[in-house]
Amino acid sequence: MRTMPAVLVVEDEPAIAELIAVNLRHNGFRPTWAMDSVSAQREIDASLPDLILLDWMLPGESGLSLARRWRANERTKGVPLIMLTARGDEADRVAGLDSGADDYISKPFSTKELLARVRAVLRRRAPEQDGEAIVIAGLSLDSATHRVSFAEQALKLGPTEFKLLHYLMGHAERVHSRGQLLDKVWGDHVYIEERTVDVHVKRLREALGAAGPMVETVRGAGYRLTAKPATPVSLATRAQLG
């Protein structure tokens, strides 16, 4: 029997929390409600959920602070997290993603959109079970074991960064626009702004460490993964050669 995915709903408004919980329950999820940071941490300590829906504006510690704390913790850093907030401008969206959220939904939102985002994030979290390991210039990704390494040193990637890297490595040296990456990594049925791609590429580079330069920005076109990233030396040499 298939286990229902557990979703922790961290929301201080009971009416919104109940609406979310009812829709999750009716669509095959097992929701748990926490109304503030203290009760949310208590639920996390008791049992890790499969996904967290986290409101930005909470009494006491904010959702943004909670997200950063959970992402910095070894036990909770891999749990998918969707930020819910009435703060809808670009700076706030970027702040939410930078805090470690995998996705961001502005209030008010439709329950259909919420469920689509939840399913999409859970799909990105699930490791690919088919296909062999991909190795490019010392960077290795094993989709069966969900492991990534560079120069034989293990790297830790979040679920979205793993899916993004998997796609880029599977199509190495090709340039992909932000729109193409949204379709292939997030899914063409989910509406997410292209700026989201930039945030996750930044996080991917940081997670890759010394291999980060392999993920190149192609100005005006998008991103690509290359075995031979441009370096300041090679660029300088190229300039000298005219």
Residue type, 40: A
Domain 134-225 belongs to what architecture? Answer: Orthogonal Bundle (1.10)
pLDDT value of position 73:
86
Residues of the chain with pLDDT > 70, as a percent, come to 82
Cβ-based neighbour number of residue 68 at 10 Å: 15
Q: At what angle do helices 14-26 and 111-125 cross, to 10 degrees?
A: 60
Kindly state the average pLDDT of the residues 156-171: 89
Nearest alpha carbon to residue 8 among 57, 36, 43? 43
Kindly state the average pLDDT of the residues 107-132: 75
Continuous segment of H or E residues that includes residue 114:
helix 111-125
Structure tokens at 83: 């930020």
43 vs 98: CA distance, rounded Å: 24
Give, in degrees to the nearest 5, the angle at Cα 101 between 24 and 106.
65
Q: 81-93 burial, b if ≥16 CB within 10 A, otherwise e?
A: bbbbbebeeeebb
pTM: 0.56
Q: Does domain 6-125 have CATH number 3.40.50.720?
A: no
Structure tokens at 10: 């961290």
Residue ranges of domains in the chain = 6-125, 134-225
Kindly state the average pLDDT of the residues 220-229: 89
125 vs 106: CA distance, rounded Å: 22
Q: What is the mean pLDDT of the chain?
A: 83
Contacts of 131 (CB under 8 A, 6+ apart): 143, 144
